[in-house]
Chains A and B, each alone.
Chain A
Amino acid sequence: EVQLVESGGGLVQPGGSLRLSCAASGFTFTTYWMGWVRQAPGKGLEWVANIKTDGSDKYYVDSVKGRFTISRDNAKNSLYLQMNSLRAEDTAVYYCARDGGRNFDCWGQGTLVTVSS
């Protein structure tokens, strides 16, 4: 069974940092692009970042460029999102998702990030 389990969310002050993790199991992690999608409270879905199978290509939404870094450790079947210079508008549930090619075909349960003083 494919599983994606996020961790690392929590309350952080504006300007602070947080590192999200996603543990993948049940599929060959090294053969899939992976991504992060977020959802602010009561709002819609927003794609945040994607990373290629070997980590050589990375893409970000404009609003997080220069502040967030997506990475992966294929030996540990894990995906990460390093978030720096956090703002109130980054408050959201962050989902780890498997990129099936032209869609996100598997999603984790999400981890809540709250940026507030």
Chain B
Amino acid sequence: EIVLTQSPATLSLSPGERATLSCRASQSISTHLAWYQQKPGQPPRLLIYDASNRATGVPARFSGSGSGTDFTLTISSLEPEDFAVYYCQQRSNWPPNFGQGTKLEIK
């Protein structure tokens, strides 16, 4: 089973700042990684698939990178609506595990 480790657990930043979230896989998953955003009381929303492709309707300030075991989600300039919890998920092997999440909070 592939384990995904996200860091940091909590990230405190201000609107306008750049956010960098990390997801590390316990073994290589090529680019078979997705990122999701979840706000309180809402279901997750797909942001990035195949490590670097933005899903439909996702603003250009969100970008994903990485391959193999190390992946990054970058938000270039934080908007107030970006403060949420972010999860990565691998789809290389069964089971399609999620990381434990990074909470992005307002500083």
Binding site for B on A (CB under 8 A): 37, 44-47, 50, 59, 61-62, 95, 100-110
Q: A44 — which chain B residues lie within 8 A by C-beta?
A: 87, 98-101
Binding site for A on B (CB under 8 A): 32, 34, 36, 38, 42-46, 49-50, 55, 87, 89, 91, 94-101
- Extra 19 A-B pairs, beta carbons < 8 Å, given A102-B32, A103-B49, A103-B50: A37-B44, A44-B100, A44-B101, A45-B44, A45-B98, A59-B94, A59-B95, A61-B95, A62-B95, A95-B43, A101-B91, A102-B34, A103-B55, A103-B89, A104-B44, A105-B55, A106-B46, A107-B43, A109-B42
Q: Is the interface of B mostly helix, strand, loop or mixed?
A: loop
CB-CB nearest in chain A for B31: A102
